[in-house]
């Protein structure tokens, strides 16, 4: 390690650490000391987390790593709580009054031996902080329970509190909240950032998950979750673009609620109608025609905002007005557009039975909706 480059923890012996992230500085309450001829990290206050790599993980919203080589999973996902090692190289910014100010530079996660490149991942530390900042700016798009936990973690990163055990637990809470949301492409205990970005709508690209046979040999539950995720990915076919085409074809470009047919303007294609998702794409990634509806713009808006409610009873599809939300609408034209959709959807406006909206998805969509 040269003077200008990144430093290993050993080269900073006898110094205390201050973390510097894009969000400010933070005391680590960790010092290196020499005990019986061995250099050790020494905790200097009761509130701290005793290992620099655990603090570094917490700052970057990574699950808790281990120090003990024997506990790594030898499988994928590489980053799994209590099953991976995290090597952190820090950049030394300055040394002053015996305190070293360091910035996280390179994070390497590993779930195998050091020579096992297949179980090694560069976690892109500086980029992670930029991603966290984008996530915080999009917090409103997250489900409430998830957003709350992300915000608690954010406060530890940007606020004055030390990165102690409560901060470490705040990462665990984010992981728990994601598990509770039952997001099919989130593997419990793995790095939560990709899943959060998908939920927040920052990206629509689902990262490649490991194959089920790559799961840690001793974790049948993770293998099972990977199998579920793989099935869902397969059923997506070629994904988003196909969803739109499938829905347009199945509904013959016609709004299921009112019968308005999208205009076909030579040179401009069809416009005026949308392929709408029943369960929101951002939360469920269900790009299958049975999670879709072709809707004209006003009815798409009313459906997404739960002003028009879809019901499926014994194969009969019906649209109802959510009077809880329409009481305040006095505009005749708006009410006219909404009422046009209300009633039983004629059979000829629906696709063939195997492509009709899934009653399960509809039920899930309105779970907990008052009066439904």
Query: What is the spatial distance between Cα 234 and Cα 237, in angstroms, rounded to a whole number?
Result: 6
Query: What is the spatial distance between Cα 323 and Cα 329, in angstroms, rounded to a whole number?
Result: 10
130 or 329: CB nearest Zn ion: 329
- Cβ(10)–Cβ(39) below 8 Å: yes
Q: Within 133-152, which residues bind Zn ion (CB under 5 A)?
A: none
Q: Could you give the string, one character per residue 79-98, with x where binding to Zn ion holds by CB under 5 A and - elsewhere?
A: --------------------
Size, binding site for Zn ion by CB under 5 A: 6
Backbone angles phi, psi at 355, to 5 degrees: -110, 5
Q: Which of 225, 190, 196 is nearest to 211 (CA)?
A: 225
Give the range of 74-82, 134-142, 157-165, 291-299 binding Zn ion by CB under 5 A. 291-299
Residue 370 beta carbon to Zn ion: minimum distance, rounded to whole angstroms: 25
Residue 295 beta carbon to Zn ion: minimum distance, rounded to whole angstroms: 6
Query: What is the spatial distance between Cα 362 and Cα 17, in angstroms, rounded to a whole number?
Result: 53
Q: How is the chain split among helix, strand and coil, in percent rounded to 5?
A: 40, 25, 35
**How, if at all, do strands 99-110 and 16-21 pair?**
parallel
Asked if 262 interacts with Zn ion (CB under 5 A), we say: no
Enter the tokens of residue 195. Answer: 């899943």
DSSP state of 64: P
Which residues, other chains included, contact 3 with Cβ-Cβ below 8 Å and sequence gap of 6+? none
Give the range of 117-125, 176-184, 220-228, 256-264 binding Zn ion by CB under 5 A. 256-264
Asked if 255 interacts with Zn ion (CB under 5 A), we say: yes
Residue 272 beta carbon to Zn ion: minimum distance, rounded to whole angstroms: 9
Backbone angles phi, psi at 357, to 5 degrees: -55, 135
Q: Which of 319, 299, 315, 327 is nearest to 372 (CA)?
A: 319
198 or 309: CB nearest Zn ion: 309
Give the range of 6-14, 189-197, 208-216, 299-307 binding Zn ion by CB under 5 A. 299-307
Asked if 299 interacts with Zn ion (CB under 5 A), we say: yes
Which residues, other chains included, contact 275 with Cβ-Cβ below 8 Å and sequence gap of 6+? 243, 244, 246, 247, 248, 292, 293, 294
Query: What is the spatial distance between Cα 177 and Cα 183, in angstroms, rounded to a whole number?
Result: 10
Query: What is the spatial distance between Cα 356 and Cα 49, in angstroms, rounded to a whole number?
Result: 53
223 or 299: CB nearest Zn ion: 299
Give the range of 172-180, 215-223, 234-242, 293-301 binding Zn ion by CB under 5 A. 293-301
193 or 255: CB nearest Zn ion: 255
Residue 317 beta carbon to Zn ion: minimum distance, rounded to whole angstroms: 14
237 or 272: CB nearest Zn ion: 272
Give the range of 8-16, 60-68, 235-243, 296-304 binding Zn ion by CB under 5 A. 296-304
- Cβ(171)–Cβ(108) below 8 Å: no
Asked if 258 interacts with Zn ion (CB under 5 A), we say: yes
Asked if 222 interacts with Zn ion (CB under 5 A), we say: no
146 or 309: CB nearest Zn ion: 309
Residue from the set 49, 90, 247, 296 that interacts with Zn ion by CB under 5 A: 296
21 or 273: CB nearest Zn ion: 273
200 or 302: CB nearest Zn ion: 302
CA atoms within 13 A on the CB side of 347: 4
Asked if 257 interacts with Zn ion (CB under 5 A), we say: yes
- Cβ(284)–Cβ(248) below 8 Å: no
Asked if 281 interacts with Zn ion (CB under 5 A), we say: no
34 or 305: CB nearest Zn ion: 305
| Helix (H/G/I), strand (E/B), else coil: 222 | helix
Residue 257 beta carbon to Zn ion: minimum distance, rounded to whole angstroms: 4
Binding site for Zn ion (CB under 5 A): 255, 257-258, 260, 296, 299
């Amino acid at each position: 390690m040269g003077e200008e480059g990144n430093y290993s923890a050993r080269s900073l012996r006898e110094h205390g650490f201050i973390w510097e992230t894009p969000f400010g500085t933070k005391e680590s309450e960790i010092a290196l000391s020499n005990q019986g001829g061995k250099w050790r990290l020494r905790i200097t206050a009761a509130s701290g987390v005793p290992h620099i790599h655990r603090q570094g993980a917490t700052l970057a919203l990574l699950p808790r790593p281990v120090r003990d080589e024997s506990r790594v999973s030898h499988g994928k996902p590489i980053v799994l709580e209590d099953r991976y090692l995290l090597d952190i190289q820090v950049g030394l910014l300055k040394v002053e009054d015996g305190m070293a100010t360091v910035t996280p530079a390179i994070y390497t996660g590993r779930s195998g031996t050091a020579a096992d490149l297949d179980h090694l991942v560069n976690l892109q530390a500086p980029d992670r902080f930029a991603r966290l900042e984008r996530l915080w700016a999009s917090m409103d798009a997250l489900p409430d329970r998830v957003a709350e936990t992300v915000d608690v973690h954010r406060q530890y990163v940007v606020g004055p509190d030390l990165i102690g055990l409560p901060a470490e637990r705040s990462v665990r809470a984010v992981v728990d909240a994601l598990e509770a949301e039952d997001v099919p492409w989130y593997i419990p205990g793995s790095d939560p950032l990709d899943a959060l970005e998908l939920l927040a709508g920052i990206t629509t690209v689902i990262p490649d998950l490991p194959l089920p046979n790559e799961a840690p040999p001793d974790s049948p539950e993770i293998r099972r979750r990977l199998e579920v995720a793989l099935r869902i990915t397969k059923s997506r076919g070629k994904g988003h673009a196909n969803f739109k085409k499938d829905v347009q074809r199945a509904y013959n470009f016609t709004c299921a609620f009112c019968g308005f047919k999208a205009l076909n303007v030579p040179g401009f294609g069809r416009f005026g109608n949308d392929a709408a998702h029943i369960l929101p794409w951002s939360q469920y990634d269900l790009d299958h025609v049975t999670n879709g509806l072709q809707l004209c713009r006003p009815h798409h808006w009313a459906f997404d905002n739960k002003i028009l409610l879809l019901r499926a009873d014994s194969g009969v599809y019906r649209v109802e007005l959510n009077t809880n939300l329409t009481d305040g609408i006095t505009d005749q034209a708006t009410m006219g557009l909404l009422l046009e959709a209300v009633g039983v959807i004629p059979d000829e406006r629906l696709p063939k039975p195997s492509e009709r909206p899934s009653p399960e998805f509809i039920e899930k969509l309105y779970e907990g909706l008052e009066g439904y």
